[in-house]
Amino acid sequence: MLRELHVTRGIIETYFRELLEHTTVDVAIVGAGPSGLVAGYLLAKAGKKVAIFERKLAPGGGIWGGGMLFNKVVVQRAAEHVLKEFEVDYEPYGEEYLVADAVELASALTVKAVKAGAKIFNAVHVEDVVIKDGRVGGVVVNWTPVDMVHLHVDPLVVEASFVLDGTGHDAAVVKLVARRTGCCEVKGMGAMWVDEAEKLVVEKSGEVYPGLFVMGMATAELYGLPRMGPIFGGMFLSGEKVAREILSRS
């Protein structure tokens, strides 16, 4: 006989077991967008304990809407290997570009990251960071609905050896650390220039304060780089670069 109580207990017991297991991790990734999912996949695949915190219900960041709600995205040839790694179908468009289905891409990135061992906690808001002895050592988390309705509910902490800001246009974690430490000036991203944006976002992604890495559109927001619209190769390569840098250290 199926019982409502067993359904409830099954959800609570398994969720809280996983939550407890991830109160200390090797890498805490804030934002389950394209750079966060690529980085999370590569790090988890290499054996790192990874938790990804996504404030919305659905992982995938800005992928789902494609360009102006046309659910197609463009990826340059330089990032073709990422599409192949995640088993995403695509078709060529001219010499330079590949076109993929946005829904398939967001889904594939999410599934592969989870299957590799990265744990995604959705509807979780990162409201602050832990800083000790001049180094970021974790994230301060609460439920997104608590933040949305401004309830006075104290958060909890997840310890992490490294924290990655993959929050996109918000650059939320970098802004927190900049305000706390004065480490850097968040310049705000510039006007669209696809070629420069795609190169620079990869070039500039990396550690901005001990223990804190920036990637994806958060990099553009931090350094005042141009925006790039619905082309995603730079996001993939940015997450890949940061993952490799962390793996080279540990």
Q: List pLDDT tens digits, range 185-243.
A: 999 999 999 999 999 999 999 999 999 999 999 999 999 999 999 999 999 999 999 99
Instruction: Assess if residue 15 is contained within a domain.
Output: no
In a domain, 10, yes or no: no
**Domain CATH for 88:** 3.50.50.60
Structural domain contains residue 32: yes
Q: Report the number of distinct structural domains present in the chain.
A: 1
- What's the pLDDT at 239? 98
CA atoms in the 13 A half-sphere facing the CB of 10? 6
Mean pLDDT value across the chain: 97
Task: Name the residue among 215, 247, 217, 248 with its Cα closest to residue 230.
Answer: 217
**Inside any domain, residue 20:** no
Distance separating alpha carbons of residues 145 and 135, to the nearest angstrom? 29
**What's 132-178 look like in SS3?**
ECCEEEEEEEEEHHHHHCCCCCCCEEEEEEEEEECCHHHCHHHHHHH
* Segment 111-165, tens digit of pLDDT: 999 999 999 999 999 999 999 999 999 999 999 999 999 999 999 999 999 999 9
- Report yes or no on 75 lying in a domain: yes
Domain assignment present for residue 144? The answer is yes
Residue 53 forms part of a structural domain? yes
For the entire predicted model, the pTM comes to 0.97
Band (250; pLDDT cuts 50, 70, 90): confident
- Does 17 fall in a domain? no
Domain extent for 242: 25-249
